[in-house]
Amino acid sequence: MLNQSIEFPRYLPSVVTHIYSPLKKRSFWVKATWLSMLIAGMGYQTYLGFNYSSNETTNTALIVGRIAAYNLLILIVLLWLPVMRHTTTKLRYLGMDSWLPLDSVKNIHRWLGHVLFVAALVHGVSYLVYFDSLEGDLLPIYIGQDSDLVRSMETTMYEFVTEDESIDDVREWVANGWDQKTYHDVIAPLMKEDCTKCHSAGSTMTYAVTSLPLTDFESVKSLGRESWASRQFRINMAGTVMLVFFVVIWLTSLAFLRKRYYHCFQYIHRLGYVIAVLALLHIPRFEYCLFPALLLLFEYFLNRKTRSWYGCRAQIRPVGGNTLAMEIKLPESVFIKSGHFVQIRIRQLSKREWHSISLMSGGESSDTLRLMIKNLGDWTDQLYRLSDDNREIGVDVRGFYASPIAGAEKESRVLCVAGGIGITPVLSLVNDYLEQPKKWEKMSVVWVFQDWFLLEGLVDLIRTAQEREAGISWHFFATTNCPEGILIPDDIQVFNRRPCLEAKIRQFENGGDGLMHAFVCGPKSLSDAVVTQTKKRTNWRVATEYF
């Protein structure tokens, strides 16, 4: 991750710097620390779920279901954090990427989603097995056909009921509309004899449920509602709908479906907001919902503060057979920071789809945004077809959001490795470099590509950087032969082979000491290769970004 390095004051003892330096080398320690905290938290939740035996109906299915439920509380809270792009952008501005794994937010969100999906399935299936193990038919219990009070007295709390006739008295009281006189004459004595020993604020029972006190008319009446008004119906139905939504979201998030049907993936993911509401109906302990609710409010506040421009005019033109260039004219001049991206919507293609696109612009004040977009799916394919006649289209824009490379702005030694269209965010950094040539001590760009048309379209920018002697080292590697008709200037040397990354990293290390930062944007195989090579060395920090 391209994190901000922390500069120690000169008067601090060298031993402090020496102790701290291993922690700066890689983001491994940051990830390991937060992962350890997550495992510890889930371990504690597992202990709470396991340490439960309230009555004779407690069985393995109930224990497993409770363990899954307690861990789901943590997973639901954390799942939202990585995808809050406004919050993560603010954290990058504050330099918190040195202490938080912001370079891995997409992977963290993905794996949390997988674990949450499995935990939700285990929780739901376990509770169905548990309900089936109780006295009576499964369906009436599941839908809360009887009131919560009657159902519990007949099943889970049956061992505490002194006489079967007591259940009949409660059922008749419920059927007659919770008469208050009957409550004081008949029901209250039953509650005192059978229920309030556990269900009261002053209970000393180890398995007491003090959150459901049964010491007054209103509290007993609240558990005397039947069918759709019962607590059991609300919890079970909300949980069932949540599980269905989790399954649909998980399926459409799988890579082979997400890439092919991105618009469906984007729409269906909005069910997450519905799940947040259903969680309030399903989870009996609301304190677990407070933290994510506050974060969502903060994210919403930041979203309202994010700048948006609607109805902008944009020129688009094809660059080869798979890429298009776009220039968006804003109604005002704005300062564009390097390493940022925007979200764009083209109503002509879809009125609801927003797509995140890296900016080529950076380090300048301008009313024009420059983007390069590769044809990777349905939406980009439609957009590419529009570019055939170099037309002008309407575009909505919102942003700006920081990507991992944004942290490179405050570093001194930066190595950028790009694959294909992954050169786009690197060009934002290069443009910033041209605006302030002495900003970095050393910067190298290694670009591996197949599409020669893409290189041809960027020749002017690359030559400008070379002619101004900005101190950027360029290394071009093509994995295909140059087609006829492509004209590349002689002063841009391109090797027809894949690069030896070990040699390039070793070459970058020569002539300087201190922390070095590698930013990789491209296929996963390229990112893995860079990570593998830097792990063998010291003083390296790596950030990866996929397109």
The percentage of residues in the chain with a pLDDT greater than 70, rounded to a whole number, is 87
Q: Write down the pLDDT at residue 286.
A: 63
pLDDT at 64: 93
Q: Which region among 187-196, 400-409, 432-441, 480-489 has the lowest average model confidence (pLDDT)? A: 432-441
Q: What pLDDT, on a 0 to 100 scale, did the predictor assign at position 3?
A: 34
Of 140-144, 478-482, 538-542, the poorest mean pLDDT is in 538-542
Residue 49: predicted pLDDT: 86
Rounded Cα–Cα distance for residues 81 and 77 (Å):
8
Helix axes 271-282, 231-253, angle to 10 degrees: 150
Q: In whole angstroms, what is the distance from residue 271 CA to residue 264 CA?
A: 12
Residue written as tokens 């008067």? 11
Q: How many residues does the chain have?
A: 547
Q: Give 145 or 294, the one with higher predicted confidence.
A: 145
Contact 371, 326 (CB under 8 A): yes
Percentage of the chain with pLDDT > 90? 11
Q: How confident is the model at residue 82 (pLDDT cuts 50, 70, 90)?
A: low
Mean pLDDT score across all residues of the chain: 80
Query: Do you find a cis peptide bond into 508, omega within 30 degrees of 0?
Result: no
pLDDT for residue 477: 92
Residues linked to residue 344 through DSSP beta bridges, in sequence order: 355, 397
CA dihedral (507, 508, 510, 515) in degrees, to 10, reads -150
What pLDDT is recorded for position 4?
A: 33
Query: How many Å apart are CA 474 and CA 247, to the nearest integer?
Result: 46
Q: Is the pLDDT of residue 84 over 50?
A: yes
Residue 449's contacts (CB-CB under 8 Å, 6 or more residues apart) are 419, 420, 423, 455, 476, 477, 478, 479
Q: In the predicted model, is pLDDT for residue 176 greater than 80? A: yes
- Specify the pLDDT at position 177: 86
Predicted pLDDT of residue 328: 92
- Is the Cβ–Cβ distance between 475 and 493 less than 8 Å? no
Rg of the chain over Cα atoms, rounded to whole angstroms, equals 30
Q: Does 454 or 204 have the greater pLDDT score?
A: 454
Which tokens in the block code for residue 340?
């940022």
Candidate from 10-19, 143-152, 348-357, 518-527 with smallest mean pLDDT: 10-19
The pLDDT score that the predictor gives to residue 468 is 67
More reliable by pLDDT, 25 or 442: 442
The residues, ordered by sequence, that sit 6+ positions from 34 with a Cβ below 8 Å of its Cβ are 100, 101
Which span out of 21-35, 274-288, 360-374, 404-418 was modeled with the highest average pLDDT? 360-374
| Res 25 pLDDT > 70 | no
Q: Are 540 and 25 in contact (CB under 8 A)?
A: yes
Q: Is the pLDDT of residue 407 over 60?
A: yes
Average pLDDT over residues 25-41: 79
The predicted model gives 95-124 an average pLDDT of 83
> What integer is the mean pLDDT of 171-195?
86
The tokens of 281 are what? 């109906």
